[in-house]
Amino acid sequence: MNKNNPVAAIFPTHTAAANRIINPTTHWVRPAFAAAALAGLMALSVSAADKKPVVDPRADELLKRMGDYLGHAKFFSVSAEVWQDIRLSSGQRIQAGRTVELQVRRPNHLRAEVHSPRRNRELVYDGNAITLLNRIQNFYGTIHTSGSLDEAMDVASERFGIPMPLEDFIRSDPHKDLTQKTTSGADIGPVSVIGVACEHLAFTQDNIDWQVWIENGARPVPRKFVITYKDEADSPQYTAIFSNWDFATELPDFVFHFEPPAGASKIKVQEMKTENQAHKTEEK
């Protein structure tokens, strides 16, 4: 019997437990710091692992299969319906739509047409020049360049700020370009896109998430493509739904020959401004 502690006399175990709590350095601090050390090491290991993309091998395999199929195709045509989230100045969110028609003949021919009720634009690359046409206002402009499709698209995008519609699927190695900055990827599973059985893949990057739905079977083409811009207010999305994939109809030279429409005016194509550089223009 503990004469000095009446509680201990009644609840000896309680007293022992209380003593352990009162003497923290001997009992609970050690496990706490051990746990913190363990958490620190785990976090460090997770951080180190973060530097490597975590892509489900199945998702990567399917994406590679799609990329190889498109990249090795000598020529193809495809249509896409594109929807883009827009936030109006009022704050209301809407979707703006347009259709894109692509005709690709590797290694250096491309025709892209973008239609919508208010816009009608065309971009043609024939191996020697990229020509832009604004059909509504009947203006066209030319950028003199040569090389492969990849090189021409780089010139258009990086020097003139001209986006090639759905460029990622036109380039020679779509898998490589699509996965350059991927941080994770997963095979979400099978799903149907407009009646076509597809496999749904989802990937992440620092600023965006993106998804692609690849047709099952012998023709692994993309059927749907979504980019979510995480770095923009309200995380708007860009959605493309593909149709009319055609790998059989040949695309002769005349498809990529640009003939200005009657009454069309040739205008300058302005090169992108860089800091400390006055803007340049591709002369008419």
Token readout for 181 is 């900055």
Q: How many Cβ atoms sit within 10 Å of the Cβ of residue 10?
A: 10
Containing H/E element for 34? helix 29-50
Query: Can you tell me which of 60, 113, 126, 168 binds another protein, judged by CB under 8 A?
Result: 168
Residue 93 found at the interface with another protein (CB under 8 A): no
Residue 252 found at the interface with another protein (CB under 8 A): no
Residue 69 vs 248, nearer CB to another protein: 69
Cβ-contact 187, 201 below 8 angstroms: yes
Q: How many angstroms separate the CA atoms of 148 and 134, rounded?
A: 24
Q: How many angstroms separate the CA atoms of 103 and 77, rounded?
A: 4
Residue 49 vs 218, nearer CB to another protein: 49
* Site residues (CB under 8 A) for another protein, limited to 24-63: 25-30, 32-34, 36-44, 46-47
Q: How many angstroms separate the CA atoms of 274 and 161, rounded?
A: 11
CA-based diameter of the chain, in Å?
Answer: 112
Residue 249 vs 281, nearer CB to another protein: 281
Which listed range, 56-64, 67-75, 85-93, 214-222, lies at the site for another protein (CB under 8 A)? 85-93
Taking the complex as a whole, how short is the minimal distance between the CB of residue 136 and another protein, in angstroms? Answer: 9
Taking the complex as a whole, how short is the minimal distance between the CB of residue 250 and another protein, in angstroms? Answer: 27
Residue 2 vs 270, nearer CB to another protein: 270
